[in-house]
Amino acid sequence: MKNIAVIGAGTMGNGIAHAFAQFGFQVALIDVSPEALAKALSTIEKNLDRQIKKEILTEEEKVDTLKRIATFKNTEQGVKNADLVIEAATENPQVKLAIFRDLDEFCEEGTILATNTSSISITKIASATRRPDKVIGMHFMNPVPIMKLVEIIRGYSTSQETCSVIMSLAERIQKTPVEVNDYPGFVSNRILMPMINEAIYTLYEGVAGVEEIDSVMKLGMAHPMGPLHLADFIGLDVCKSILEVLYQGFGNPKYAPCPLLVNMVTAGHLGAKTGRGFYEYQGKEMMVAERFRKG
């Protein structure tokens, strides 16, 4: 494997492109939006500078890494020589199914098609292609250049060979791959999202305030960040939609999103990205949102 194409140059796509280029792969970064491509390149450059400051990389390695990334607006051109395509486009089943239908047309027979989806069934995405044995989930964590885990998700028809190739590829970019099967939420979100939802219920029922809930989990369970802060960071709309996937996928009411979470999303309080969630964010300042302050 030498040539990697990454579809979608947003938060995750730029990180995935960065990680592969840093370890010597040629990367084609593809996005329908030229603005997203320009922003991705400047983000990658900033993140490479951070690595230089931390003495992880040299100036010369930064220049070489950037040289290995080419950008494309056109998917067919971008994936032409790809040995592996990693799709990290918008989390919407229609968008992803259309991309995989196209990839199946445009890519060589042997090309492996991976998706970074957080919640959509790999088996369903694979069913849009004539090569379901070569479709797999590669669930990177944010921020990609820093986080070690890649959750490797085997769809119902993913072959052992595809899985082995992708597991060893993840190790070549110094990640730790963990193999799981394709059921709603995989492992990461099946465990994380109910914990976040329960933290929101604990607040909703008045058992404790925002800071108390986060402090218990940080100091008592050694979590680096409390669950309400983490929910703000992930995006409350994203948390709600993953809980809905779990709820529908298992048909079990225990996964239904807390009414407080539903209200916050409806009101447009989506967490850090809108400046308001369980906390309020002003620049680097963060305080409990006015609504949840005591007294």
Ligand X SMILES: NC(=O)c1ccc[n+]([C@@H]2O[C@H](COP(=O)([O-])OP(=O)(O)OC[C@H]3O[C@@H](n4cnc5c(N)ncnc54)[C@H](O)[C@@H]3O)[C@@H](O)[C@H]2O)c1
Annotated binding site for NAD(+): 8-13, 31, 91, 96, 118, 142, 273
Q: Which of residues 84-123 bind ligand X (CB under 6 A)?
A: 88-91, 95, 99, 116-118
Based on the residue annotation, tell me whether 241 is a catalytic residue of this protein: no
Residue 151 contacts ligand X per CB under 6 A: no
Q: How far is the CB of 12 from ligand X (least distance, A)?
A: 3
Residue 232 contacts ligand X per CB under 6 A: no
Q: Which is nearer to ligand X, 111 or 118 (CB)?
A: 118
Q: Which among 119, 121, 189, 197 is annotated as catalytic? A: 189
Q: Which among 14, 18, 121, 139 is annotated as catalytic? A: 139
Q: Which among 14, 118, 119, 197 is annotated as catalytic? A: 118
Residue 7 contacts ligand X per CB under 6 A: yes
Among 11, 159, 241, 274, binds ligand X (CB under 6 A): 11
Three state DSSP letters for the chain: CCEEEEECCCHHHHHHHHHHHHCCCEEEEECCCHHHHHHHHHHHHHHHHHHHHCCCCCHHHHHHHHHCEEEECCHHHHCCCCCEEEECCCCCHHHHHHHHHHHHHHCCCCCEEEECCCCCCHHHHHCCCCCHHHEEEEEECCCCCCCCEEEEEECCCCCHHHHHHHHHHHHHCCCEEEEEECCCCCCHHHHHHHHHHHHHHHHHCCCCCHHHHHHHHHHHHCCCCCHHHHHHHHCHHHHHHHHHHHHHHHCCHHHCCCHHHHHHHHCCCCEHHHCECCEEEECCEEEECHHHCCC
The contact pattern for ligand X, residues 28-67, with x = CB under 6 A and - = no contact, is --xxxx--x-------------------------------
Among 10, 194, 249, 275, binds ligand X (CB under 6 A): 10
**Which stretches of the chain bind ligand X, using CB under 6 A?**
7-13, 30-33, 36, 88-91, 95, 99, 116-118, 139, 142
Task: Tell me the catalytic residues.
Answer: 118, 139, 151, 189
